[in-house]
Amino acid sequence: MTGRILRWAGLAVVGVTVVLAVVLASRFGSDPGLVDSPLIGKPAPEFTLAGLDGSEGASLSDLRGDIVVVNFFASWCLECRDEHDDLVAASESFGDQDVTFLQVAYQEAAAESLSYLAEAGASSTTRYLADPGSRTAIAYGVFGIPETFFIDPEGTVVGKIIGEADALILGATIDSIRNGEQPGQQITGDTQQRPDA
Amino acid sequence: MSERTRNIASVAVIAVMSVALLLLTSTQPATSDRVQQIGTRIKCPVCQGESIANSPSQMAEDMMDLVSERVSSGVPDQQIIDELLGSYTGAVLLDPPASGNTLVLWVAPVVALAVGIAMILWWRRHPGPSADDATAPGKSRTRLVIGGVALVLAFAGIVAVAANSLQDRPAAAAGAADIDEQDLSEVSNETMEAVIAANVEDPQINGMRLALAERYFDSGDYRSAFPHYLVVAEDPNATGAEAITALVRLGWMAYDGNGEVETATRLIDEALAIDPGSAVARYVRARVLWCGAGETDQAIETFEELLTDPELATETRTQIEADLEIANDGGGECP
């Protein structure tokens, strides 16, 4: 009798341990960057960045009153290449509607980003910015790219897209901000880290 | 050396070592040590379980530079860490915070230890029957059952809390929005323009292009509607219905916008070549000729013929009936 009880108790412990192992193992390989951004609903971290080509660039505080779209990109990021045409289309469609598109080069030399933009085609309504020391990327909690943040006219972060953004998601997010909503975080796919990271 | 002297010497050595230890631990570490200490607590966000102090990645290097700069500015360690947490959440802490969902990771070992000690104590106070005591088998069984159940419950509790904590993470399931599934009534003209511009090669985009053109047309903005109708009209991949809509609208705009009756009828005739029975094309053609060329009788004839069709759309029927009444009213001019 005692032996049988011991066997059942042992089996139960093994069973529960296996369940725990499966639950934990299921998390292996998942993207650690898929966490809710603590910036949503908070004032957007201020920044003043020079243009990739050394031009004046942009200061977030000067854009108060506009919806600001901040996209982190790089030439080595495949998802960024996939979303490029959509970002250009959205920027040019909303360009004269109090919406400002900023694209910040992430972990890349300005010359490489400029070369990529020359090849892919830059938007005339987007400002392309350099981020030396990744200070802005760190302030925005960037885990990988592409990541796109949406800042409302009052300077509050109200939305974030993790992964590739298409024109419909970009436009619909801007539409909802215009309607006074807070679209929050949307995950559309994977992000990428620099190949040598 | 006497016993007393040895004792005094021992106490003195311990006291000196304690004071030295106290001094060592209370001294503020050098700036570079502080940077290193903070760096070992922060997980590199682009690496697999490495601290920013140990990772060779560019991101880790940039974060260490930032930490170093903040330390040099006299910012306290905890404030520097809090600033990073403000951007990244606790996901960048190598040691999970002892609060919220991760509290279980700190509490579980303590609870497990307490349960273990309690079980050992309980076991000792309730000893089982000795080898030669075969009179209390019930007690032994009870003891084993309680022990087993406590063990299983403890494991199950940890699994439940851990699984619950893990499920709180957002899922990467949203996916890119599907053009076909989107409710266009809630999408702005600018969004539709952007989607169309980004998908010019996609034949399925004609549906959205026509929907946008119709919005412009209904608001009287022919200039914005024209290029979209033209693209659909010239697209060999457009469906018959799409091409007819585009050609009929282009025809009406040619007449209504520029007074070009001939161009208008030519465009509408192209639509009728696709589907000679198209009620909308026939109606608009008759209306153009009535309004632009004064062909009232022909318009009345076409209107009456169209109204005999039982499958005519209600909206078109209402419009034709109103026009017919005006046309019949002593050869009235088109509105």
pLDDT in tens, B157-182: 766 666 555 544 454 444 444 555 56
User: B254: distance to nearest CA of chain A, Å?
Assistant: 26
Residue B211 has pLDDT above 80, yes or no: yes
pLDDT tens per residue across all 197 residues of chain A = 556 665 676 677 677 666 666 655 555 555 555 678 899 999 999 999 999 999 989 999 999 999 999 999 999 999 999 999 999 999 999 988 899 999 999 999 999 999 999 999 999 999 999 999 999 999 999 999 999 999 999 999 999 999 999 999 999 999 999 999 999 999 999 899 888 75
Note whether residue B272 is domain-resident. yes
- Which spans in B92-136 are helix H? 103-125
Mutate to test the interface with A, among B46, B82, B204 (most CBs of A within 10 A): B46
Distance from C-alpha of A30 to C-alpha of A13, rounded to nearest angstrom: 27
3-class DSSP state of B281? helix
- What is the nearest CA distance from B97 to chain A, expressed in angstroms? 15
Please check whether residue B49 lies inside any domain of the structure: yes
* Nearest neighbour of A138 by CB, restricted to B87, B151, B171: B87
CB of A160 closer than 8 Å to CB of A185 = yes
Whether residues B194 and B315 fall in one domain:
yes
Per the domain annotation, does B135 fall within a domain?
Answer: no
Q: Residue range B264-279: average pLDDT? A: 95
pTM to 2 decimals? 0.74
Q: What is the pLDDT of residue B227?
A: 96
Q: Are residues B241 and B217 in the same domain?
A: yes
Cross-chain Cβ contact A172/B191 below 8 Å: yes
Q: Which CATH number do you get for residue B281?
A: 1.25.40.10
Q: Average pLDDT in the B183-190 region?
A: 85
Size of interface A-B (CB pairs under 8 A): 192
Position B335 scores a pLDDT of 75
Residue of A138, A140, A162, A196 for testing the chain B interface, max B β-carbons within 10 Å: A138
Q: Helix, strand, or coil here: A71?
A: strand
Question: What amino acid occupies position B170?
Answer: P
Q: Do B190 and A94 touch (CB under 8 A)?
A: yes
Q: What is the pLDDT of residue B120?
A: 77
Give domain status of residue B250, yes or no: yes
CB–CB of A23 and B188 under 8 A?
no
Q: Are residues B116 and B80 in the same domain?
A: no
Would residue B6 count as lying in a domain?
Answer: no
A contacts of B195 (beta carbons < 8 Å): 89, 166-168, 171
Same domain assignment for residues B205 and B224: yes
Decide if pLDDT at B331 tops 90: no
Is B194 within a domain?
yes
Residues 6+ apart with CB under 8 A from A63: A100, A151
Rounded to whole angstroms, the Cα distance separating A134 from B250 reads 52
**Which of the four pLDDT bands, split at 50, 70 and 90, describes residue B118?**
confident
B62 and B195 in one domain? no
A102–chain B nearest CA distance, Å? 17
Greater confidence, B65 or B122? Answer: B65
Q: Does B271 lie in the same domain as B242?
A: yes
Read off the amino acid at residue A92. Answer: E
* Inter-chain residue contact B158 with A20, CB threshold 8 Å: yes
| Predicted local confidence at residue B144, as pLDDT | 66
In a domain, B158, yes or no: yes
Contacts of B187 in chain A (CB under 8 A): 168, 171-172, 175
Using one digit for the tens of pLDDT, what is the confidence trace for B133-152? 555 556 666 666 676 677 66
Residue B192 shares a structural domain with residue B113:
no
B159 and B238 together in one domain: no
pLDDT in tens, B3-36: 777 767 767 777 777 666 666 555 555 677 889 9
Domain residues for the domain of B82 are: 23-92
Dist CA A71 CA A136 (whole Å): 11
Mean pLDDT along residues B186-206: 91
Peptide bond connecting A153 to the previous residue in cis, omega within 30 degrees of 0: no
The whole-angstrom separation of Cα B57 and Cα B47 is 8
Same domain? For B205 and B322 the reply is: yes
Most B CBs within 10 A among A93, A100, A185, hence the mutation to make, goes to A93
| One-character DSSP codes across B163-207 | HHHHHTSPPS---SPPGGGS-GGGS-HHHHHHHHHHTTT-GGGHH
- The domain A33-187 having CATH identifier 3.40.30.10: the answer here is yes
Closest CA to B232 of B247, B215, B218, B219: B247
Does the interface ipTM go beyond 0.85?
Answer: no
Same domain assignment for residues B105 and B85: no
- Check if the beta carbon of residue A141 is closer than 8 Å to that of residue A39: yes
Residues B246 and B323 in one domain: yes
Whether residue B323 sits in one domain with residue B196? yes
Q: Each residue of B308-320: pLDDT tens digit?
A: 999 999 999 999 9
Angstrom distances, CA of residue A129 to CA of B101, B129, B290: 38, 80, 59
Q: Which residues 177-196 of chain B have a CB within 8 Å of chain A? A: 177, 179, 182, 186-188, 190-195
Name the pLDDT band for B94 (thresholds 50, 70, 90).
confident
In a mutagenesis test of the B interface, which of A16, A40, A69, A135 is the best target, namely the one with the most B β-carbons within 10 Å?
A16
Environment class of A113 (CB within 10 Å of its CB; exposed 0-12, middle 13-18, buried 19+): buried
Rounded-to-integer distance, Cα B279 and Cα B298, Å: 15
| pLDDT tens, residue by residue, B47-63 | 888 899 999 999 999 99
For chain B, the domain total comes to 3
